[in-house]
Amino acid sequence: MTVLPVKFSARRIAVCAVALLSLGSTASHATDEIQVYNGSIAAPGQLTIQQHLNYVGIGQAMPPFPGGFRSDRSLNGTPEFAYGVNEWWEVGLYLPFAVQDSQFLSNAFKLRTLFVSPNAEQREFFYGVNFEFSHEMPKFSQTRFSLEVRPILGLRKGDYEFMINPIVAVGLGQLGAADFKPAFRAAKKITPDFALGLELYSDYGEIGNFSAWNEQQHTLFAVTDFKLGDFGINFGVGYGLTPASDRFVVKTIVGYAFPPPGASVADNSNAAFRNPMRERSIPPIFLAR
């Protein structure tokens, strides 16, 4: 069993975070991924696939910058491919896109690397951090490249779980900034394969110079997580709490986890829950990540 030395990993993670933030400088406004990460990852050698789709029924009629992408009546999403390197490390690839006015728009790609406490999905208290590098198209961002640092903190008690991702999104370039975008989730398991919860996604604006309340983004989602065959599904309906937020958003994530090495398809009945060896049966890949 591979174990990540906690003292060593914490020091390395802190150094990486400081290094990334020191590069400093806007993140994309596309809503291709609406998700709270909870520290659950693919088993070593396992491949997982998710399809994110988010429809903004009532959004911002004006783009965030001249020539940018307006969110109103847009479909946003990304296929996500993830691979478990070991018990505390997962890597992933996103291919984000948007559809608006019958036009398909690619937003290039994202690469991520996720570190978590070993067997995080089985712990009462869990933690981790995700680093994400994005190459973005001019329609979606004023900076060509961006970075996201997403710490993960969570607590599980009985059928309840609470988690927060205090995200820092860093646009790289002259027009970039470091924004604070925390995400929070509280959920309750109703049955082994069904859960209900609330998720809050916020954008306070530039760190050290937060926007006024009516210019911040705060969207509250009512969400449900369930299993359909070998697929895990997350579905949520969101309402914007401020004028700068998209007013009405519907999000969904559909995912499948291939059997890990040495397991048969028959052993993969819990595959959509990210880790077939987990003791709990709430699908963490969709409750968050």
Listed in sequence order, the residues at least 6 apart from 200 whose beta carbon sits closer than 8 Å to its beta carbon are 183, 184, 185, 218, 219, 220, 221
Spans of all domains in the chain: 6-287
Q: Hey, is 264 helix, strand or coil?
A: coil
Identify the residue whose tokens are 């370039």.
173
The H-or-E segment that residue 217 falls in is: strand 217-228
Listed in sequence order, the residues at least 6 apart from 171 whose beta carbon sits closer than 8 Å to its beta carbon are 25, 26, 27, 141, 142, 143, 145, 146, 177, 178, 179
CATH of domain 6-287: 2.40.160.40
Q: What is the pLDDT along the chain (289 residues), one digit of tens a residue?
A: 433 444 434 455 444 444 434 343 344 456 899 999 999 999 999 999 999 999 999 999 999 999 999 999 999 999 999 999 999 999 999 999 999 999 999 999 999 999 999 988 889 999 999 999 999 999 999 999 999 999 999 999 999 999 999 999 999 988 889 999 999 999 999 999 999 999 999 999 999 999 999 999 999 999 999 999 999 999 999 999 999 999 999 999 999 999 988 775 555 543 344 433 333 333 444 444 6
The pTM (predicted TM-score) of the whole model is: 0.83
3-state DSSP of 76-135: EEEEEEEEEEECCEEEEEECCEEEECCEEEECCEEEEEEEECCCHHHCCEEEEEEEEEEE
